[in-house]
Structure 1
Amino acid sequence: MALETSPESPAPLRQISLLIGQWIGRMGAVWIEAEITELKRRPGICFLTLRDLEAKISIQAKCHVSVLDRLATPIVEGARVVVQAKPSFWETNGSLALDIREIRPQGEGALLAQLEARRRALAAEGLFDPRLKRPLPFLPQAIGLITGKDSDAERDVLENARKRWPAVRFEVRHAFMQGPQSATTVIESLRLLEAGGEVDIIVIARGGGSLHDLLPFSDEALIRAVAACTVPVVSAIGHEPDTPILDHVADHRASTPTDAAKTIVPDVADELAGVAQARQRAAHAVRRLLDHEAAALSALRTRPVLARPQVLVDAQADVVAEAVERSRRALRHRLDRERDAVSHHLARVQALSPLATMQRGYAVAQAPDGSVLRAIDDVPDEFTVRLADGRVVAHKISTQELT
């Protein structure tokens, strides 16, 4: 309602501020198209500055952090958006602000949101799993290159790769690098190179471009074809800031076509330098081993046992000679003892021998059968008399019994 005022009866500023706040408070939520020129994130809340797309009009806005977190792709400064917001008026300082309830990216922001949703869906299928990444061959026999005909990307890959390794061989397949037919021609070239069975690695290369120019390299059919390819694939699309979905599924991502050339083949100068260094290290190691072994041999040769080996033999010879002499002395001593014992036993045997008795003048009469005659009744007509030095055959003439 109209407020009656005059120079004589002015309204206080607080009343005007209150009325403005009440009028703005009656407004509901509205959809606003604008550009984000400033974005500050604080714990639990975000502060934004929105600017009109044509007029130089800016207004402050705020929202809960969950509003931004719900977005598929992060919102950055400079993004074009459509927001649902409710205007609010701060009566204390007379400033107008917007309480944002929903944000929807527009233009490239909406396109980025679609690409992010596609990327997340493909990632959920496991197509970007690092365990599926295949290692690149150290020195491929042949390299497949998919790129635009007579493009800077083709020249960068070929020239830089041949500078690094002059003998490298390429199988080049030209395809559209932008436009509606781009993904289809790239997929066809990929299948031809894979089916040929001659290439060890495939490079998909394109120079930088706008988001729309690089859309074919986020095509779902192309992503699935690269994931199913049995040959390692290198993505060299755009420049460092450009990250199409192809970069996530490829076995290796190169920031530029030149970087791809440096990745797929080694530098022959570096390899020759490495070989030379390896030879030097090997030669040094062999010389060091030989010096070590020579020093060890010299140390062994200076030891007494090797310098004069006969010393050990002489020492052992003395030990053996001393042992032989001890053995001889012990044997002689033992023989002497046993000789004395034999002599003693012989003397006893001789003392007890009947022959010794015969030598003292006794004789033994024996019958023809060898038995000793002990009585006159046992004496036959013919008998033998055993003397100390022989026998005498005797005939019985008569007998005389002793009384």
Structure 2
Amino acid sequence: MALTSSPEQPQPLGRVIGAVKDWVSRCGEIWVDAQVVEIKRRNAPTQFMTFRDRIADMSCQVTASTLVLDAAGPIPEGSRVTARIRPRVWDRNSTLSYECLELRVAGEGRLLAQLEQLKRKLQAEGLFEAYHKRRLPMLPRMIGLVTGKDSDAERDVVTNVERRWPGARIRIRHALVQGADSAESVMTALAGLDADPEVDVIIIARGGGSLEDLLSFSDEGLVRAVHAARTPVITAIGHERDFPLVDFVADHRASTPTDAAKHVVPDHAAETAGVTQTLERLRRAVDGLLSHQQHQLDALRSRPVLVDPTRSFDAHVERLTLLRHRLEAAVDRCLRSEESDLRSAVSTIRALSPKRTLERGYAVLVDEHHASVSSVADTAVGSRIHAYLADGQLALDVADVTDGAS
């Protein structure tokens, strides 16, 4: 029922807002097709989003509980969604907003959400960790190739591998690369090459395509098969912007089949040029080393000691002669000093010897028993004593004994 009013009888604003709220609430719930252009997540029970019409330039603010938003799974901004909403008018500021009661990702966005959920699951299991990645062989004996029969990807890989390394060997296993059975077909081909002992590396190649075309390369079974393979695996699926899940478990991800060929074998021309350059550098290094060693050898040979090995003895002979002269002079000085000391000692000895005393007129007296007579008490009158003189001896008889005191 419409409200009546006039300048004399206006309606209260709150009553008008309440009426609008009542009218809006009668619209009830409705499913809408829209695009999510913004999601404002916060640590609160209510989350805010912005929906926009996919055709007309119209947008609105939408609220949703955290449970509703989480139940929809990952929703990248720009995703197409189908939402069950109802309009609401807030009493305090009379603003109009929409409450989302249920949210579903639609179209390609739904596929992206499913892939994102699978990606998070596999990532949580550690399948994407870098330590699982194996190094590619520098020059494989045999290259395994899984690709579609007569496809552009097969032609690109084979042509570029043969151009880069003409002697390369390729073993091809054709598989379905699109459709319901493509994942199983690729897994079968991969298992056959992985069991081949001659195959050192495997390339899984496919040309570009839409998200649905590449969906089989995000199959969980195929992803786990690539992760479990014993042989290093290179994936070349789609283009640079395409990232199927198998790329995350491969040992190396190539942006295109041509890029895969660049990583699996070296460039023969570049390697030949590199070897030639390295040989030239090695030759120059060896020549430089030999020249340096020859220069050192010439320097050693030009030294005087090698030109005339006996020349170094001349200085030693001169020094030896000088030392010998100094030694002889020292010996002479020592002998003269010792001779002088000896002469002095001899003179002293001679001056103190009994013989010198006898030469001065003294005599040494002894009795008949050759005992020294040094006192008158040592003899008696009538005794015979012997007197030793400088030139002989005398036998004397004592005729008188006189005491020196008397």
TM-score norm. by structure 1 comes to: 0.72
Task: For structure 1, list consecutive stretches of 5 or more residues without a partner in the other structure.
Answer: 358-372, 375-400
Provide the rounded CA distance (Å) in 2 between the counterparts of 1:71 and 1:283. Answer: 68
Distance 1:27 1:305, change over 3 A: farther
Distance 1:309 1:402, change over 3 A: closer
Residue matched to 1:230: 230
What's the offset of the Cα at 1:172? Answer: 0.5
Provide the rounded CA distance (Å) in 1 between the counterparts of 2:313 and 2:72. Answer: 96
- Once the two structures are superposed, residues 312-359 of structure 1 have per-residue CA deviations (whole angstroms, 9 ceiling, x without a partner) of 43333221110011122233444556667788999989x99x9xx9xx
Asked if the contact 2:146–2:203 (Cα under 8 Å) also holds between the matched residues in 1, the reply is yes
Task: For structure 2, list consecutive stretches of 5 or more residues without a partner in the other structure.
Answer: 359-368, 371-394, 398-406
Q: How does 1:89-238 map to 2 (within 5 A)?
A: 97-100=97-100, 102-238=102-238
Q: How does 1:247-326 map to 2 (within 5 A)?
A: 247-290=247-290, 292-293=292-293, 312-326=312-326
Most deviating of 268-277 and 226-235: 268-277
Asked if the contact 2:142–2:170 (Cα under 8 Å) also holds between the matched residues in 1, the reply is yes
Distance 1:342 1:11, change over 3 A: closer
Residue matched to 1:395: none
Asked if the contact 1:50–1:61 (Cα under 8 Å) also holds between the matched residues in 2, the reply is no
Distance 1:41 1:300, change over 3 A: farther
Query: What secondary structure sits across from 1:272 in the alignment?
Result: helix
Aligned AA (1:316): H
What's the offset of the Cα at 1:65? Answer: 10
What's the offset of the Cα at 1:49? Answer: 3.8
Residue matched to 1:397: none
Residue matched to 2:53: 51
User: How many residues in Structure 1 have an aligned counterpart in Structure 2?
Assistant: 353
Query: What secondary structure sits across from 1:242 in the alignment?
Result: coil
Distance 1:231 1:69, change over 3 A: same
Distance 1:301 1:71, change over 3 A: farther
Provide the rounded CA distance (Å) in 2 between the counterparts of 1:40 and 1:111. Answer: 19
Residue matched to 2:37: 39
What's the offset of the Cα at 1:50? Answer: 2.4
Residue matched to 1:76: 77
Most deviating of 112-121 and 80-89: 80-89
What's the offset of the Cα at 1:275? Answer: 1.9
Query: What secondary structure sits across from 2:234 in the alignment?
Result: strand
- Once the two structures are superposed, residues 135-179 of structure 1 have per-residue CA deviations (whole angstroms, 9 ceiling, x without a partner) of 111111110001111011100110011111111110100111112
Distance 1:302 1:47, change over 3 A: farther
Distance 1:223 1:275, change over 3 A: same
Provide the rounded CA distance (Å) in 2 between the counterparts of 1:113 and 1:21. Answer: 36
What's the offset of the Cα at 1:104? Answer: 1.7
Asked if the contact 2:32–2:84 (Cα under 8 Å) also holds between the matched residues in 1, the reply is no
Asked if the contact 1:207–1:239 (Cα under 8 Å) also holds between the matched residues in 2, the reply is yes
Distance 1:296 1:121, change over 3 A: same
Distance 1:167 1:325, change over 3 A: same
Asked if the contact 2:37–2:52 (Cα under 8 Å) also holds between the matched residues in 1, the reply is no
Provide the rounded CA distance (Å) in 2 between the counterparts of 1:64 and 1:293. Answer: 83
- Once the two structures are superposed, residues 294-321 of structure 1 have per-residue CA deviations (whole angstroms, 9 ceiling, x without a partner) of 6656666777777877664333322111
Q: Superposition RMSD on alpha carbons, in Å?
A: 4.3
Query: What secondary structure sits across from 2:163 in the alignment?
Result: helix
Asked if the contact 2:75–2:105 (Cα under 8 Å) also holds between the matched residues in 1, the reply is no
Aligned AA (2:267): D
What's the offset of the Cα at 1:120? Answer: 1.6
Instruction: Give the fraction of aligned pairs with identical amino acids, expressed as a percent.
Output: 42
Aligned AA (1:34): D
Distance 1:43 1:57, change over 3 A: closer
What's the offset of the Cα at 1:99? Answer: 3.9
What's the offset of the Cα at 1:206? Answer: 0.8
What's the offset of the Cα at 1:100? Answer: 3.7
Query: What secondary structure sits across from 1:196 in the alignment?
Result: coil
